[in-house]
Structure 1
Amino acid sequence: MTYAIDRLILKPDDIDLSRSPLAGQFAQETYVLGAFNPGLSRLPNGNLGLFVRVAEALRQPIFDGHIHAIRWDNGGYVLDAWQLDLVDTADPRKFLIRGGRWKVMALTSLSWILPVELTPDGLEIVAIHYDKAIAPQASFQCYGIEDARVSRVEDRWLMTTCSVSPERHSTTLYSSTNGLDFVFEDIVLDHQNKDMLIFEGLIDGHYWAQTRPLGDLYFTYPPGSEWRGGPSINLATSPDALHWKPHRKPGIRPHAATVHTARMGGGTPPIQTNKGWLTLWHGVEPKEIVGIYRTYWSLLDADDPSQTIQTAHEPLLEPNPALTAPLTDQMYIDHVVFTTGIADAGDNYIVASGEADLACRITHIAKSTFA
């Protein structure tokens, strides 16, 4: 597929870690493992707000016979040490703790959210707002805050994030009245859920959201079904954006006709079009440790978002190695595009994605693509 514009807008070297929330907290050097998976929203001044996940990692996590992880603790940041013979380090993003009955892991980085202001077309950086960074502030966020998704609903901006800790893997909500200064509201989902996306508009006076609860066990569909068992994009409703009830009907499910949705989850907050709700989501084809992440799209019924009225098995966006070719020395995974934000730009949509868990990608996609 050909796009009007497709480029990287923010890379790890664009981040000034001397202004990081972690700066000066411990002696070991850190670096930006990735600046990626950005939320996106139009600001009151017409510019775009890009809300970037900065994964900050130790330059040398292994020393003194241990691997170390960064953790927020009581307003500061500390290092935890794990014996190398107790862990599995096959995935560069995390390490697994061996020996327990459950799958237990720690991260090789700690993430925080950095607001970046872009020009209205999303192609130039206006300002990087380090003073507005969103960082851990409680024990349920001690391993970081990940993957912001931003929706404007009436006169408020609502940001969902994934807060990571040993206590719970929860979804947390922030709100803003100007699109840049966000305040913490509360935990809104208490189960492991990486992709909560609030619809950009009310339906019958209620907030709606896509969710993606995870587990280690799923039930199969009957033989011959068009659906495949596994993670799916579910729906929930709320009277106030704080208290959420799962919707009875299923949302978008993995289709048996393609291996590209063997794993799937939400991408961009659903936005209103004259045909229904446009939602971009990711599907994962199994390959090696991480898999191949691609972006797909669906149109949902305006009054009943559990009904898909149009979709396509062909990907809308695929990983683009040409974009990251100049960053080869910083790459640690490939085959990943993870779309997380969308904004209206007249004849086009401006789509924001994380490319290779490394950088922020901006793509202009013609609205006629979804006709």
Structure 2
Amino acid sequence: MTFPLDHLVFTPHDVDLSRSPLAGHIDEDTYVLGAFNPGMTRLPNGNLLLMVRIAEALRTPIRDGHVRAIRWEEAGYRLDPWPLQLVDTADPRKFMMRGGGWKVMALTSLSWLLPVELDPEGRRVEAVHYDRAIAPRASYQNYGVEDARISRVGDRFLMTTCSVSPERHSTTLYTSTDALDWQLQGIVLDHQNKDMLIFEGLIGGKYWAQTRPLGDLYFAYPPSSEWRAGPSINLASSPDALHWKPSDHPGVRPHAATTATARIGGGAQPVLTTVDGREGWLTLWHGVEPSGVVGIYRTYWTLLDKDEPWRTIATQHQPLLEPNPALTEPLKDQMYLDNVVFTTGIVDADDHWIVASGEADLACRITHMPKSAIRV
């Protein structure tokens, strides 16, 4: 499917690392591994805001028989050396510890969040707010702050992020009245969860969110079931957006009829809309088809019931958005994976949706999607 506007609006080339939170704090050359997976909302002035994940990596992670990880602590940023014989460095983004009874890894990059202001249609960058960048500031964030998702509920902006550390792999919440100045409220989900998306509106007087707990073990559905065992998009509710109770009802699950969505997870924040006369919560999510190292990531849609968000009103097995190699062709010298589009934000623009995605874990993609593209 082709769209009226589908382009990369912000790439690693657009980042000024002299204004990075790490600048002057480590005596090493760094580069932007990726500027991607942007949370998106509309600012009070009408412009769009992307909260871009900047993965800042060591240019030379391996030195003197060791691979180094970047870590924040109150005294500043540190480089931790690990002997090469103890680790697997096949992935340029991370290294895995050998041995042990479970997976342990460290990162060769540290992620921070950069607010990028776009014009109202997402065609061009208007400002880059380095002075409002979000960097680690707590011990549970000392490997970085990743993958913002922004929702506006009433007069508040709520932003969930993934905070990474040896202590835990948790979901943290930031709040704001203007989407530029953010206050860290702390941890809201204390288990590994990559995709917490707060609905843009209350349901029955409560906040609701999609969640996706990670795990290495799943129990099988019966052979005749329409569902496939694996990661699913779950639900939780809260009286205050801080204290969350998982829903007793299952949410969006992998369907047995297709392998293209064998693994799924949340994407853009759910928004209330009408599709072919049916009112409900539109959620864009990612499905992963097993292939190669990370799989093929595509974007799909589901319309959830307005009052009972665990009930699906409509969905399709056909992807809404697919990876576009033509977009990243000018960046091919920086590519370290392909076949990935990871949708992370959506804004209403009258007759179309403005959709923000991360392309190839490298750059920020903006797509103008006619509302007619989503139909039952």
TM bucket (normalised to shorter chain) is: over 0.9
* Residue matched to 1:95: 95
Q: In 1, distance between residues paired with 2:70 and 2:319?
A: 36
1:55 matched residue in structure 2: 55
Structure 2 counterpart of 1:276: 280
Show CA shifts across 1:62-87 (max 9, x none): 00100111000114111001111111
> Which AA in structure 1 matches 2:346?
I
AA matched with 2:222: P
Q: Which amino acid aligns with 2:77?
A: Y
Structure 2 equivalent of residue 31 of structure 1: 31
- 2:321 is aligned to 317
| Paired residues of 1:91 and 1:289 also in contact (CA < 8 A) | no
Unaligned stretches of 5+ residues in structure 2: none
Deviation at 1:92, TM superposition (A): 2.1
Residue of structure 2 in register with 1:198 after alignment: 198
SS of equivalent residue, structure 2 residue 41: strand
Matches within 5 A, 1:239-250: 239-250=239-250
Cα displacement string for residues 4-29 of structure 1 (whole angstroms, at most 9, x for unaligned residues): 11000000010000100000111110
SS in structure 2 at match of 1:13: helix
- Structure 1 residue identity aligned to 2:74: N
CA distances 1:277-296 after superposition (whole Å, capped 9, x unpaired)? 00000011111211111110
Aligned counterparts, 1:84-123, within 5 A: 84-123=84-123
Is structure 2 residue 84 aligned with structure 1 residue 80?
no
Q: Which amino acid aligns with 2:53?
A: R
Q: 2:296 aligns with which of 292, 295, 298?
A: 292
CA contact (8 A) 1:171 1:196 kept: yes
Q: Distance in 2 between matches of 1:47 and 1:112?
A: 22
Task: List alignment gaps of at least 5 residues for structure 1.
Answer: none
CA-atom RMSD, angstroms? Answer: 0.7
* TM-score relative to the length of structure 1: 0.99
Secondary structure of the equivalent of 1:368? helix
Partner of 2:234: 234
Letter in 2 for 1:296: Y
User: How many Å separate the matches in 1 of 2:32 and 2:273?
Assistant: 37
Residue 331, structure 1, aligned to residue 330, structure 2:
no
For 2:36 and 2:46, the matched residues in 1 are separated by: 23
Select 1:305's aligned residue among 309, 317, 328.
309
- Inter-partner Cα distance in structure 2 for 1:266 and 1:56: 25
The alpha carbon displacement at 1:207 in A equals 0.1
Instruction: Determine helix, strand or coil for the equivalent of 2:260.
Output: helix
Cα distance between partner residues in 1 of 2:320 and 2:75: 42
Q: Are the equivalent residues in 2 in contact too, given 1:233–1:264 (CA < 8 A)?
A: yes
Q: Is the 8 A contact 1:75 1:137 kept in 2?
A: no
CA deviation string 1:3-58 (max 9, x = no partner): 11100000001000010000011111000000000000011000001000000000
Alpha-carbon distance between aligned partners in 2 of 1:97 and 1:67, rounded to the nearest angstrom: 11
Structure 2 distance, partners of 1:134, 1:75, is: 17
Query: 2-side partners of 1:187 and 1:246: how far apart?
Result: 16
Indicate the residue corresponding to 2:363 in structure 1.
359
Aligned-partner Cα distance in 2 for 1:295–1:94: 25
Q: Distance in 1 between matches of 2:290 and 2:313?
A: 27
Amino acid in structure 2 at the alignment position of 1:91: D
Distance 1:219 1:89 in 2: 32
Moved over 2 A (4+): none
Q: 3-state SS of the aligned residue for 1:68?
A: strand
| Contact 1:144–1:164 (CA under 8 A) maintained in structure 2 | yes
Identity %: 73
Residue 344 (structure 2) pairs with residue 340 (structure 1)? yes
Deviation at 1:262, TM superposition (A): 1.4
Partner Cα distance (2:62, 2:266) in 1: 34
Count of matched residue positions in the alignment of Structure 1 and Structure 2: 371
Corresponding residue SS for 1:261:
coil
2:361 alignment partner, SS class: coil
Moved more, 229-238 or 280-289: 280-289
Cα distance in 1 for residues equivalent to 2:13 and 2:2: 28
